[in-house]
Amino acid sequence: MNMHPQAACGEDVAPYALGALEPEHARAFERHLAECELCTADLATLRPAIAALPASAEQVDPPPHLKKRIMAIVESEAKARRAAEAPHRRERRFDFRFLAPVATAAAAVLIAIVMIGGNGGNGGDDPGAPVKANIPAKAVPAGTTAELRMDDGRGTLIVTGMKAPSKDHVYQVWKKRGSAAPEPTDALFTPTKDGHASVAVPGDMEGVDQVLVSTEPVGGSPHPTTAAKIVFET
């Protein structure tokens, strides 16, 4: 067993910048950096690019078990590459086109981890992450279809084939939490002639168990005056 890992001049720059080196190997590379101007310059060139990787996506904490599993793969690939290539020194200028394959893979891994927040809920890895989903209505009038589109904690109600309410009335959207009375919203709408409507559900959807639609007088009501025509269970 190699108790004293050696730094691979040039090859370890990108894995080190990405945090893919094992602790002992990282310390060996740090000792190497103190003596190697080329690797020090390469590292300074690479770090701004690494820092910019997550800038295009919302930053979230990845599920610990997923991050651990992915980084284990990256570290394994780095170890295999070091074993296959003898350490060597050479005159060079750092060129991003010639990043070691493990560095390119690790960069992709970091981007994937950052992006987990947008898709993790669909995969079940992070139940607390924002979720995009289309929720069909539990109850609708005959001939009507309706769905609640959820995106990052916000809801949009999409209706097709719904008849217009009676004269001097509109449809009003309500939010219900647990056993509490439905909360009125200022989301009032009347479908188009062909029965279509799209309306945003105001406010945060956190803790909302049901979204309801009832027929109310023009201007809306502080509490429902008719039974809900559309019911969503979120």
- Sign (positive/negative) of CA torsion 119, 120, 124, 126? negative
Count of residues making up the chain? 234
pLDDT band of 46, cuts 50, 70, 90:
confident
pLDDT band of 75, cuts 50, 70, 90:
low
Calpha distance 5→68 (Å, rounded): 22
Determine which of 110-114, 191-195, 203-207, 227-231 has the lowest per-residue pLDDT on average: 110-114
Which architecture does CATH list for 132-233?
Sandwich (2.60)
Q: Which amino acid is at 53?
A: L
- pLDDT per residue as tens digits for the range 102-135: 455 555 555 555 444 444 444 444 555 445 678 9
Calpha distance 232→234 (Å, rounded): 6
Residue 27 confidence (pLDDT) above 80: yes
Where exactly does CATH 2.60.40 map onto the chain? 132-233
Calpha distance 46→50 (Å, rounded): 6
| Amino acid 35: pLDDT | 86
DSSP state at residue 139: B
CB 207 within 8 A of CB 216: no
Spatial CA neighbour of 214 closest among 229, 231, 234 = 229
pLDDT band of 90, cuts 50, 70, 90:
very low
The predicted model gives 219-225 an average pLDDT of: 95
- pLDDT per residue as tens digits for the range 138-174: 999 999 999 999 888 889 999 999 999 999 999 999 9
